[in-house]
Structure 1
Amino acid sequence: MYWNREMECMPAEERKILQLERLQGLVRRVYENVPHYQRVLREAGIRPGDIKSLDDLAHLPFTTKDDLRRTYPFGLFATPLANTVRVHASSGTTGKPTVVGYTRKDIDTWSEVMARTLMCAGVKDDDIIQIAYGYGLFTGGLGVHYGAEKVGATVVPISVGNTKRQIMLMEDFGTTVLACTPSYALHLSEVLEEMGTDRSRIRLRVGVFGAEPWSPQMAREIEKKLNVVAIDIFGLSEIIGPGVASECLYNTGLHIFDDHFLPEIIDPATGAQLPPGEEGELVITTLTKEAFPLIRYRTRDIAALYVEPCPCGRTHVRMSKVMGRTDDMLIIRGVNVFPSQIESVLLEIGHAEPHYLLVVDRKGPLDHLEVWVEVSENFFRDEVRHLESLGKTIKREIESTLGIGVEVRLVEPKTIERSQGKAKRVVDKRDLPGKNKPKEG
């Protein structure tokens, strides 16, 4: 089931010709209209006419989030504000937010790629989709909204929060598709259980989840608790919002809509391009964006690309699930640690809830990692020796995975703070003031 069969199933060689034409047009547009890009391209000794093949992409300079902050708010826009019909912005947790803009054509493109995303998940015009991503400056809610309307599905634009009301409307409206962050999906499942809701009254069949890294084990947990097919979607505000890539029902990776978004994987340390199958930092060039085009934007997301055919028939290059972020990566005693590695271990072991917190501190000259893990309700009430045994098992498996020593603290159910948006997984006391600890088991 496709939204745009011609583009989604285009032969690879034809797509490369299209990508090159669009890349050449992009470089010409930013050179002529964006002072930042004119300057950095000149410094690199590149003129628009130098782009002769897709291999020349590797010679173009990278764009980083710092570039976006330095040119705040509209310095990277390639069209006049009079032609900009929408602006969105990141949360701006450190300093100024990053601001992105859209022309009418950009909004049409966004709706198009989100329609493809939802069709990848099997969403049809007779579905009722409840959108529990945030609306407003965050791109999540409105991005999914426009794609759902383009497909013809019935949209429930409830936004995030008010979880009991979310569940009431799921029952009353007969919601079949849920769109939210994976961590909020887990929270919904907990509240469903607390409310004693009759699961036969919940008609959900598909979940469209994104906006934060999550492991395959967490996907299985969500599928079990909500009785849905969990589909991973990928996007980021700087590129367009949600709609950059999506899993299909064959779960062979996320199809990147590379007629609009040209992907690379690079070594985050050297910037060198890596071949398909190797893990590194995902870099994306926006081939068709008008208001806010980006060349070789470093996403900070860790992933790999795959070019083998998918049984669904789509010919786009695919990416793995995001394995972590270079800015979320912790370096503990010289070892790279991603929260998703620990999440996978916890969900494989069982008896632990998929709610955890990594607390990093410095004791003398050495870094110290403590993993707080929520234990399931029934197991927490079990004998102390069983809790001790579980703690030792978790410690052994995490240490085996990471290759460093850790401390594990088992905590009562519901004591780690829940998120209605992106989950907070790390407290780094090397840089941040300490916070109250949850009650330990």
Structure 2
Amino acid sequence: MIFNVEMETMNTRQKEHLQLARLQKTTKSTYENVPFYKNKFDSHSVKPEDIQSLDDLRKLPFTVKQDLRDHYPFGLFAVPQNEVIRLHASSGTSGKPTVVGYSRNDIDVWSEIISRSIAAAGGEPGKVLHNAYGYGLFTGGLGLHYGSEKLGMTTVPISGGNTTRQILLIDDFKPQVICGTPSYVLNIAETMEKMGKDPAATSLQYGIFGAEPWSEEMRQTLETKLGIKAVDIYGLSEVMGPGVSIECHEAQDGLHIADDHFIVEVINPKTNEHVPDGEYGELVFTSLTKEAFPIIRYRTGDIAAINRSKCQCGRTSVRMCRVKGRIDDMMIIRGVNVFPSEIENYLLQVSEIMPHYQIQLQKKGTLDHVELHVEVNEEYFKQCEDNLEHANIMVLTEKIKHIIKSNCLVTINVRIFAPDSIPRSEGKAIRVVDLRKETVMQ
């Protein structure tokens, strides 16, 4: 067990004292150096000196993604350009990308946060980490890379894609930890099986998975196939990148937030009021130590709940549950709100199908039409004589519809396809295809 004892086991009083001091410094910096925040603070009649307690955070205005787009590319930076040593950005698939900058100290702090995260997930100095997150403007690859090196691990920067090469290096380099999106690492495991290899017979012991919502059933699938402990990591570039929170491998019971660097709030996204601990709402983060791109009360759009009880691993940080989904990913099917991750949770309990699916949203006349695409596994397909018209396929279709109806309270059309029909991920999985707008949601 590797702890930063001072920070990760701090008592509540000590942590709140540290958070307040850092919050006061951050609000002063943003007010003095970012015109956007000065104008927002002034419009809400609040000054940095008004922040005398953590409760005063609620006096500050929210920041939303559109604010970042409106000030593209560098309008929210709090330091001169010559102090920014790295830029990251979102994909910009639904508008201008959101650009974030890092000072040298930001990179050092981020690396320290990630090193703590990897240690919480089971990583150790001297061991090998296989990093299958994408490198480039996406924060995942370089974020995990620098943290792994900071921890003292041998880091394999393979990035995403080229699955057969991934398998070769896992065989040859014998890593203990693998990092990537859960859908892509599942793709690696299934490719191993097709090559006649046993994914559970590798050197891998721990997996750090994130960058897309995934269910407890997906965790069990990954752990069984690969013979590992699988933990969830959370982050977003606007707040820092990966490492904002992570599960510990000991308990796998909520993601420990690095709350010496970030303050979390959970609000009702409709009323903007705080919800009680343990209830689902929208996550809101305020950075406490970022220099180049501080962020105040950033509305993430992610739905989760928090837990302030002490974890069995000994860390005292606030924990958040696995992200249920994003507000803009939520589907309304005949008046019922459903997240793709909820469908996945029950879908992966069906033994006859593969853990791959897509939800297609279509327009039929004036009504929205939802169709769930899944693929049958090879063993069951052979039992059905490789025939999608077989009576057993019809029975399986009705079984899936009943499971979704019973648990998610929606009636959804189901189409079953042959093995290997659903596109495999080499990065973030495409779970929802919205044909109504002829766009793809990730």
TM-score normalised by structure 2 residue count: 0.96
- Tell me, in whole angstroms, the C-alpha distance in 1 between the residues paired with 2:39 and 2:351: 54
How far off is 1:169 after superposition?
Answer: 0.7
1:277 matched to which residue of 2?
278
Q: Are the aligned partners of 1:117 and 1:243 in contact in 2 as well (CA < 8 Å)?
A: yes
CA 1:285–1:217: 2 relative to 1, 3 Å: same
In the TM superposition, structure 1's runs of 4+ consecutive aligned residues that sit over 3 Å from their partners are 198-201
Give the residue type in structure 1 aligned to 2:416: L
Kept in 1: contact 2:130–2:156 (CA 8 A) = yes
Asked if 2 retains the 8 angstrom alpha-carbon contact of 1:33 and 1:79, the reply is yes
CA distance in 1, matches of 2:316, 2:401: 42
Relative to structure 1, the CA distance from residue 5 to residue 348 in structure 2 (aligned partners, 3 Å threshold; closer, same or farther) is same
420, 426, 438: which one aligns with 1:420:
426
State the partner residue of 1:224. Answer: 224
**360 and 199 in structure 1: CA distance in 2 versus 1, 3 angstrom threshold:** closer
Q: Helix, strand or coil: the match of 2:349? A: helix
Give me the whole-angstrom Cα distance separating, in 1, the residues matched to 2:335 and 2:39.
37
Give the aligned partner of residue 108 of structure 1: 108
The C-alpha deviation readout for 1:149-192, integer Å capped at 9, x for no partner, is 11111111111111000100111111211111000011001110
In the aligned structure 1, how far is the partner of 2:402 from the partner of 2:190?
28
Residue pair 2:199, 2:227 contacting (<8 A) in 1 also: no
1:3/1:115 contact within 8 Å kept:
no
Q: In the alignment, is residue 400 of structure 1 matched against residue 406 of structure 2?
A: yes
Query: Which residue is 2:37 aligned to?
Result: 37
What is the CA-CA distance between 1:404 and the residue it aligns to?
2.4
- Seq. identity, %: 54
* Residue pair 1:58, 1:273 contacting (<8 A) in 2 also: no
Q: Partner of 1:378 in structure 2? A: 379
Q: Which moved more, 1:26-35 or 1:355-364?
A: 355-364
Alpha carbons of 1:414 and 1:143: their partners in 2 closer, same or farther (altered >3 Å)? same
> Structure 1 residues 251-260 or 388-397, which shifts more?
388-397
The whole-number CA distance in structure 2 between the counterparts of 1:21 and 1:173 is 45
Q: Which residue of 1 aligns with 2:345?
A: 344
Instruction: Specify the SS of the correspondent of 1:16.
Output: helix
Task: Give the aligned partner of residue 410 of structure 1.
Answer: 416
* Counterpart residue number, 1:299: 300
Is residue 16 of structure 2 the alignment partner of residue 10 of structure 1? no
Distance 2:87 2:257 in 1: 24
Q: Is the 8 A contact 1:2 1:8 kept in 2?
A: no
Contact kept in structure 1, 2:372 and 2:415, CA below 8 Å: yes
CA contact (8 A) 2:200 2:225 kept: no
Query: CA shift at 1:198, angstroms?
Result: 5.0
Cα distance in 1 for partners of 2:265, 2:391 equals 50
State whether residues 145 and 155 of structure 2, in contact with CA within 8 Å, keep that contact through their aligned partners in structure 1: yes
Contact 2:332 2:338 in 1 (8 A): yes
Q: Is the 8 A contact 1:171 1:201 kept in 2?
A: no
Q: Quote how far apart the aligned CAs of 1:232 are.
A: 0.7
Structure 1 SS opposite 2:391: helix
AA partner of residue 195 (structure 2): M
Answer whether contact 2:201 2:226 (CA < 8 A) is retained.
Answer: no
Taking the aligned partners of 1:238 and 1:158, their CA distance within structure 2 comes to: 25
Per the TM alignment, residue 11 of structure 1 is displaced from its structure 2 partner at its CA by 0.2
Determine the C-alpha separation between the residues in 2 that align with 1:417 and 1:200: 24
- Pairing of 1:25-424 with structure 2 (within 5 A): 25-197=25-197, 199=199, 202-249=202-249, 250-383=251-384, 384-424=390-430
Q: 1:22: which partner in 2? A: 22
User: Bigger CA drift: 146-155 or 325-334?
Assistant: 325-334
Q: 1:433 to 1:338 in 2, by over 3 A?
A: closer
Distance in 1, matches of 2:335 and 2:199, equals 47
Residue identity opposite 1:416 in structure 2? I
Aligned residues: 434
Gaps of 5+ in 2: 385-389
The offset of 1:333, in angstroms, is 2.4
Deviates more, 1:388-397 or 1:195-204: 195-204
What amino acid does structure 1 have at the position aligned with 2:322? K
Q: TM-score, normalised by structure 1?
A: 0.96
Q: Give the conservation status (yes or no) of the 8 Å contact 2:200–2:226.
A: no
* Alpha carbons 2:69, 2:98 under 8 Å: kept: yes
RMSD, aligned CA: 1.3
The 1:68/1:211 distance shift into structure 2, 3 A limit, reads same
When residues 306 and 363 of structure 1 are mapped into structure 2, their CA distance, relative to the original with a 3 A threshold, is same
* Separation in 2, partners of 1:177, 1:76: 36
Shift of 1:391: 1.1
Residue in 2 aligned with 1:437?
none
